[in-house]
Amino acid sequence: MADAVSIFMAIGLSEQKAKETLKNEALSSTLKKAIEQAQGLLGSASIDKTAGTLLYNMVTRLKDSNRLSFLTEYIITRKITSELQLSAALDFLKNHPQENLDRLEFEAACGVGVVVTPEQIEDAVELIIRKHKDQLLAERYRFNMGILMGEARTALKWADGKIVKNEVDMQVCGTCSNQSKSLCISVCMCTEIFCCFSGEANTEGKSLMEQLRGEALKFHKTGENYKTEGYVVTPNTMTLLKKHLEETGGQVRTRFPPEPNGILHIGHAKAINFNFGFAKANNGICFLRYDDTNPEKEEEKYFTAIREMVEWLGYKPYAVTHASDNFQLLYDLAVDLIRRGHAYVCHQRGEELKGHNVPPSPWRERPVEESLLLFDRMRKGMFAEGEVTLRMKMVMEDGKMDPVAYRIKYTPHHRTGDTWCIYPTYDYTHCLCDSIENITHSLCTKEFQSRRSSYFWLCNALDVYCPVQWEYGRLNLTYTVVSKRKIIKLVETAIVRDWDDPRLFTLTALRRRGFPPQAINNFCARVGVTVAQTTMEPHLLEACVREVLNDTAPRVMAVLEPLKVTITNLPTNAQKEVRVPDFPANEAKGSHVVPFSKTIFIEQSDFREVMEKGYKRLTPDQPVGLRHAGYVISVQRVIKDGCGNVCELEVSCASSDSVEKPKAFIQWVSDPLQCEVRLYERLFLHKNPEDPAEVPAGFLRDINPYSITVIESASVDRSVGKAKVFDKFQFERVGYFSVDPDSTSEKLVFNRTVMLKEDPGKI
C-alpha cells in the first residue's frame, strides 16, 4: 500500500487523496495502468504535476476503459494540457462510441494545437471592456463582472482561464485608473469571485434573496418532487405527495441539520444562509435540527453555540428539533425495513466495513425473523459494541454496499440518557427525519451527492414521503483549517486559546474578532449558490467586513504606541473640549467630545527625527495637523532617554487658520484611557496548510509566529469608556477594532478586526 501511495503522490496527489483512491480498487487499478502507460511514453518514471492531475481527472471520469491509452497519449504528449480540453475530449468520446475515431475531428473538438497568443487575449478583452466601459464606470463595484468574464471565455474558448482573468483584472484597473482606487480594487475583487464559479451562472450584484427567490435556482416546485431528475416514482408516490401538500399547504420547508460535536465555521455560514435564506425568499420555513445520533462526541455547549450563531447571523428557526426526538419512530421504521426484507443484522466488524471494497456479508440473506430477533436483542443491550450492526440492502452511488443503519454505543445520550444503546447512522436518519418533518428541499453540500440514491431508496423502501435532495458546493477559505479534529489539536497544543480564538474562522471566532454578521452574510451572497466547491481568499471576506464597518463603526482616536508631546505655548492648566464626529462623512449621525490639553500623545511612527523623501508627517522641519483640534504643531525640541530613543517632543501649536495647510493630519489623544490591543495576522504561513505537497511537515508546523501581537499599553480617547463587549469602532488611521470579552471595568481589550483599506503610512 505504501508503494502505491508513493506512486500516486508522485503525480501530484496529496497523501490523503492517494489513500482515498486506494480504497476504490477499480479506480486505483486504472490509475496505475495510466501511470505505467505514461511512463512508457515518456521513457521516464517522472510525470509532472500538471500531467499527473489531468491523468487522475481523466481516470475518474472516463467511462470507456478502452480509451485509456488513447487519452493518456494525448495528455503525455501535451496535446491536451488543460481541464477544459480534457472535458471536451471526454464529451467527444462519450458522443462518439465507435471504435475508429476521426482524429482530426477529435482534435478540433478539444482544441489540440490551438495557440492563443497574449496579443489575441489582450485585443479580445480590450474590445469587451470598451463595449461595457460606460456601464462599468457608472455602476462601480456593483457592475456584473460575469458579463466581462462570460464574453471573454466565449471569445477565447481555449485560452488559459487564469491568463484571461488576469488580463480582465489589469484592463479593468486601467480603465478605472482615472476613477477612485477603491473602485479598481472592488471591481478586481468581483472578477476574482466570479472566476471561482467555474463558468456557472453569475450571481454578482444580486442579493441573496434574489439568488434564492422563485425559479432562480431551477429547483422543483413543492409537490412536484417527481419532476426532479433521478427521483424514483413508486405506485404510492402521488398519494404520498398529495398528503404532504395537505399537511404543508404547499409551503417551502428546509432544515439546517448540524452535528452538535463542534463549533460552526465559515463554511456553515453558507449552509445557514442557503437553507434559511431559501425558505425566507420563498415564504417558507426552516427548521434547526440537531443531528444528535452520536452521543460519544456531543456536548451541551455545542448545542447552545450552534443556535446562538444561527440567530447571530439573523435567522430565527421555525422550530428547533433533534434527530433524537424521533428515536422511537426511527426504531419502529427499522423494524419495518427488516420485515420488508430490506435490512439484516450483520456480524462483520467495523474494520471489515471500511473502504469501498467491503467483502459481501455472509449474513445478507439471513431470515427476516432471525434479524428481527437479533435487532431486538441489540436494542436490549445483549451484544458488545461493534459486535453487530443493522445494515440496509442497497448499493450507494459511490459503490459502497449495504451501509450501516444502526450500531451499538453504550454511552448515555444527552437527551435520552440510558434509554437507548443503539443509535441510527446519518445514512439512515437523515432522509427519514426530512420525511417526518415534511421537508420539501433537502439542501446539502456536494460530498453528499453519493448518498442521494440511498436517500431516495430508503424513503421508497419504507413507503414514506420522499423529499428531494439538492447539492451545492462547499465554501472553503485559504490560510486556515476548519476540521474539528484539527482545531482541537490547535487548542490542545496551546497554539490557539479555544474555538473562539480570533485567528480561526469559526463563527464564534469571527464574532469575537469583530466581524459583523451582516458582512458574513454579504460574503456568502457574493460567493453565490454554486454547485462547484469554492475556495476563497480571506481578504475577500475582509473586504465585506470593511464595507459594513465603514457605515456602522463610529470613529474614535487611539494611539497604539504613544509618544508624549508637550505643547509649550499652552498654559499648564489649559483644557478645552474638542467635538469629534462619529462619522466624518455624515456628521448628522452624531459626535462625541474629547479633552485637549497641554500634554497629548501621538503615534511614535508619526514622528521621524530625520526627514525622508515622501514622508508627510511630523519632523523637526515639517509641521503636522492634529485631526479635529484645529491646530498645527511644530517641533521645538526632541527629548531622548538614556538609550538614545526619542521619549518626548516639545512642540508649539498654532491655529490651522493662521498657518499654511500641513501635508498631513494625524490622530492624537489627551488624558486617554489605557487599553490592551491585540493585532492579528494569518495563523498559517501557507495558503493550503493541510496539503502535504505544500506543507510536508503538517499544519502544526506551519504556524505564523507573528499571528498575534499584544500591545498592553495603548491609549484610546475616553469616549469609549462605557463600550460593551463586541462594540465596534474605527480607530482613525489605524483600523477597525472590537471590544473583546476579556475586557474588565478597569481595562478594555480591543481586537483588531481588519486594517483600513489605505496604508496608514500614506495618510
Q: Shortest CA distance to 404 belongs to which of 394, 419, 416?
A: 394
For residue 265, the one-letter residue type is H
Residues contacting residue 32 through CB under 8 Å, at least 6 positions apart? 4, 7
- Whether 206 is catalytic is no
Residues contacting residue 694 through CB under 8 Å, at least 6 positions apart? 686, 687, 688
- Say which residue the cell 508522485 belongs to: 10
Residue 473, Cβ neighbours under 10 Å: how many? Answer: 22
Cell triple for 732: 482613525
- Whether 259 is catalytic is yes
For residue 175, the one-letter residue type is T
* Catalytic entry in 140, 153, 484, 489: 484
Burial class (CB within 10 angstroms; exposed 0-12, middle 13-18, buried 19+) of 514 = buried
Contact 27, 60 (CB under 8 A): yes
**DSSP, res 200:** P
φ, ψ of residue 478 in degrees (nearest 5):
-80, 170
φ, ψ of residue 684 in degrees (nearest 5):
-115, 150
Give the CA radius of gyration of the chain.
31
φ, ψ of residue 153 in degrees (nearest 5):
-70, -35
For residue 541, the one-letter residue type is L
Q: Shortest CA distance to 527 belongs to which of 473, 580, 572, 570?
A: 473
* Catalytic entry in 253, 255, 474, 511: 474
- Say which residue the cell 530625520 belongs to: 610
- Whether 79 is catalytic is no
Strands 319-322 and 285-290: parallel
Contact 688, 478 (CB under 8 A): yes
Task: List the catalytic residues.
Answer: 259, 474, 484
